[in-house]
A and B are shown apart, each in its own frame.
Chain A
Amino acid sequence: MDNDTLASIEELRRLVAMSGTINMEIFYWWCTALMVIIHAGFLAYEMGASRVKNALASGVKNILAFAFIIPTFFLFGWWIYVAFPSGLVPSATGNAALPWSDTMGPNLADNATGIFWAAFALFAATTASILSGAVIERIRLSAFCILAILLGSVLWILAASWGWHPEGWLHTALGYHDVGAAGVVHMIAGFFALGVLINLGPRIGRFAVDGTPQELFGHSMPMTIIGLMMIIVGFFGFLGGCIIYMTGEQWVNIYGQPATLSAFAFNTLMGFAGGIIGCFLMTRDPFWMMSGALAGIISAAAGLDVYHPALAFLIGFVGGCLIPKVQEVLLKLQIDDAVGAFSVHGAAGLWSLVACGIFASGYPSPNGPDSSLYGQVVGGAVMALLGFVPGYLGSLVLKSFGLLRITAGAEKAGLDIVELPVRPYPEGHTPSTHPVAAE
């Protein structure tokens, strides 16, 4: 070949590489945008699940979780992910993720860091939002913000560094497989919420003197159900952010194993449908049906890249059947999880990891041993402890200083009138015409 031809080929290669780089940026940009819809969904979901006297305060809490996660994830969250894959001792590779690094800002030699940071920051905000719903109507806003930062900008990302990173020790030592973040996001958030709920206590009136659960109906079930559907829409961005775009090559999952977005499409939808049907069978309650949709996707998430779609449906179905029962157990223990966050995220996340070990052992990895039930169970135990213990201890410290829970008077009056300068429905609110729920 003459020099002109070689130059043309080289130019073509350069163009293809740049086009691929920009396509990568575009892909994660829109995944991030879709994940913002998760927050719109959580916002509607929590406000609808609150009684009208707390509707806006619940919204403020959710908005602030998002707002405080972003700067704190910039200050130290991303560094934790890059620096801690081997455990609790930071590595020097994390230096590039420190907030004063040249790559942590506009840089023409780095198209990747900002867009990946953004996607991970939205994962962090999602994790914090999971806590937000569980504690509505009685947690102090400042306490919630502190706990949300601990959960979203420290714990989930430490879990991700251990189990959702090609060099994370859970993967390299045990073959831990959690492609869709069932453990590192959902279990961490669900178990953290459980730890907080134990110290926070139930809302006034949630349980009778003899311990019988009393319903505290939210003021807008339609808003809650639509919010849940918006979370499902956002999940497609969340799960899209779980696969790595490789210019000129096949996609890979977070562990470097070959994967396709088609696999994610099959199994996300099949898990979604299985979860709804499972919850419909168990409850006939539209709130739980849409929670079941989330639980179905989460149940299939760990093995989203490898399951046969029929298996993903069945795993989602089992998850959908499981979560109302877990909520019943919490109620028997007089733990008031206002939106079922532990059952939907914690319990379904654990089921997801175990199911992946039962049905998807033996897949090879370039960075660790084959996937196995043992690796999944150990990983699940690590996620449960990493979520629960800091949640319990962090909220215990706040409680010991009287900073965790609002006063009884404020709880009875409602947080909107106590803390906020505006009202949700200043021209009136239509009361329910069905005060008693069907059996």
Chain B
Amino acid sequence: MNGSPISAWDGVEAYFTFADSPLLIGLFLLFVALVVVGVITHSAKHESKAFKRFP
């Protein structure tokens, strides 16, 4: 996968992967948010399940 937004270093500013693709950057950010929310939600469910053994 070619993630480079540049083909030479002259005059380059932002050069992070997919800097030329706002849609992909938006998707990456969305996935970060989903991981944060999803893992905390999963943790809450795991706790509730574990606590049933210790009411």
Contacts and interface: CB of A to CB of B under 8 A. Distances in A.
Contacts of B55: 407-409
A107 B55 CA distance: 53
A105 interface: yes
Contact of A419 (B40, B41, B50): B50
Contact of A99 (B12, B29, B53): B29
A408 B47 CA distance: 13
Given A75-B29, A100-B25, A419-B50, A106 B15 contact: yes
Given A71-B32, A100-B22, A109 B50 contact: no
Interface in A138-154: 140-143, 145-146, 149
Interface string B1-32: 00000000100111110010010011001001
B13 A407 contact: no
B51 A107 contact: no
Contact of B36 (A68, A412, A413): A68
B19 A108 contact: no
A76 to B, nearest CB: 9
A102 interface: yes
B16 A100 contact: no
Contacts of B33: 75
A75 B32 contact: yes
Nearest to A141: B43
Contact residues on A (Cβ < 8 Å of other chain), bracket: 20 to 34
Contact of B50 (A75, A105, A108, A418): A418
B17 to A, nearest CB: 8
A146 B9 CA distance: 42
A413 B47 contact: no
Contacts of A21: none
Given A142-B43, A410-B51, A107 B32 contact: no
B45 to A, nearest CB: 9
A403 interface: yes
Contacts of B13: 102, 107-110
Given A99-B29, A140-B44, A105 B16 contact: yes
A140 B43 CA distance: 9
A367 interface: no
Nearest to B35: A71
A340 to B, nearest CB: 27
A436 B41 CA distance: 42
Contacts of A409: 51, 53-55
Interface of B: 9, 12-16, 19, 22, 25-26, 29, 32-33, 35-36, 40-41, 43-44, 46-47, 50-51, 53-55
Given A71-B35, A419-B50, 8 more contacts: A106-B16, A142-B43, A145-B40, A407-B51, A408-B55, A409-B53, A409-B54, A410-B54
10 contacts: A75-B36, A100-B22, A106-B15, A106-B16, A107-B13, A108-B13, A108-B15, A142-B44, A143-B44, A410-B54
